[in-house]
Amino acid sequence: MIRTRRDFGKLALALLPASALMAKQDSKWGGVQVGINAPYSFKGMSGQADKILEYLKQIDVNALELRLQPVEAWLGAPGVYASRIDMPKGSAAVVQGGRTGHVLTPEEQEAAKKLQEWRTSLSMEKMKAFRKMYEDAGVLIQILKIDNFNSFSDEVIDYFFLAAKSLGCYALSTEGNLKDVERLGTFADKHKMMIGYHGHTAGPGGEAFGAPENWEKAMAVSKYNGINLDLGHFLVGQKTSPIPFLTKYHEHVTHIHVKDRKYDGTTVPFGEGDVPIVETLQLISKNKWKLQATIEFEYPVPAGSDTLTELTKCVNYCRKALS
């Protein structure tokens, strides 16, 4: 479905009750912008753009690391769905990219071609209209998450950067491998925009950013190659606090992922694990470091509760730490 500028305006107003038009949500405390990784953190829920705005209002958050899929699905991209929850039964999302080793079927090749044509011909005014819809609802899209970033053509990678700028982002993010950083760094240099490579606990062959030295290698290639520091993964993978690493490289950190885990790898509610969440947030506040503290919701929802209730607890935990 193609959305018009009028549709954007109607949605933004419809989502906000009269009282909310004067009192928008605000999750910036102590100078630290707290955000949500969406739609990833909304487990088992629709990832559609209008739904995300509703969720953010309920949990009182006004900033995002947003995957591209909800944006493109809203704008009518062929074969793109906001999330797996939003895929009709029996349908399949377009297989994206072409450098991952997967051999595309003729049908997949045709679908991928249509999507590439859609992307490279899209007016960025439509991305700006999407941004306005979100900002009118009080929400900042600060980081754009791209899956399989290095698997796309040069033209599509340029499109990702232009989309990020049009949405108001200061950075892009990706899972990434060390082999990706030279090519992607060239595009980051061209567009003068940071890429935050997400760190995991470990990766096949040591390639994923599970080791600090891999980020150092990426940063040596391009000053726009940066760090998406996942506090939980770092603590479990390195068996130490992420604070010294953050302190050393904070100028290269695009954003942190906030979650709590125990050293044995168990993911738990905020405040029940070994991740120094409070200390990290207070350090960012004290030093006035400009980076988003992005809540990434991963612990199991307790019986009798739900995702938004638990996310509200996470948000309030961060609010208390910074108040």
Tell me the CATH number at 69.
Answer: 3.20.20.150
Residues 6+ apart with CB under 8 A from 247: 283
Three-point CA angle 253, 80, 187, nearest 5°: 40
Residue 200 pLDDT class (50, 70, 90 cuts): confident
In a domain, 248, yes or no: yes
Is 71 part of any domain? yes
Whether 53 is covered by a domain: the verdict is yes
- 10 domain-assigned: no
pLDDT of 122 higher than 90? yes
Average pLDDT over all residues of the chain? 90
| 18 within a domain of the structure (yes/no) | no
Structural domains in the chain (count): 1
Six-digit token string for 102: 């997967």
Nearest to 140 by CA among 71, 64, 39: 64
Q: Does residue 61 fall inside a structural domain?
A: yes
User: Does 266 reside within a domain?
Assistant: yes
Question: Of 224, 236, 280, 221, which is closest to residue 256 (Cα–Cα)?
Answer: 280
Check residue 92 and give its pLDDT.
Answer: 66
Q: Residue 270: exposed, middle, or buried by beta-carbon count in 10 A (0-12, 13-18, 19+)? A: buried
Stretch among 10-19, 45-54, 301-310 having the lowest mean pLDDT: 10-19
Distance in angstroms (rounded) separating the CA atoms of residues 218 and 190: 16
Average pLDDT over residues 217-239: 95
Among 184-193, 202-211, 226-235, which is the least confidently predicted range? 202-211
Which amino acid belongs to residue 161? F
Q: Which domain holds residue 251?
A: 25-322
Q: How confident is the model at residue 11 (pLDDT cuts 50, 70, 90)?
A: low
With a pLDDT cut of 90, the percent of the chain lying above it is 79
pLDDT > 60? residue 32: yes
Please tell me which residue, 211 or 61, carries the higher pLDDT value: 61
Q: Which two tokens stand for residue 126?
A: 């439509």
pTM greater than 0.85 (yes/no): yes
Q: Classify residue 17: in a domain, yes or no.
A: no
Q: What is the pLDDT of residue 88?
A: 87
- Inter-CA distances, 42 with 70, 90, 126, 176, 314, Å: 13, 23, 25, 23, 13
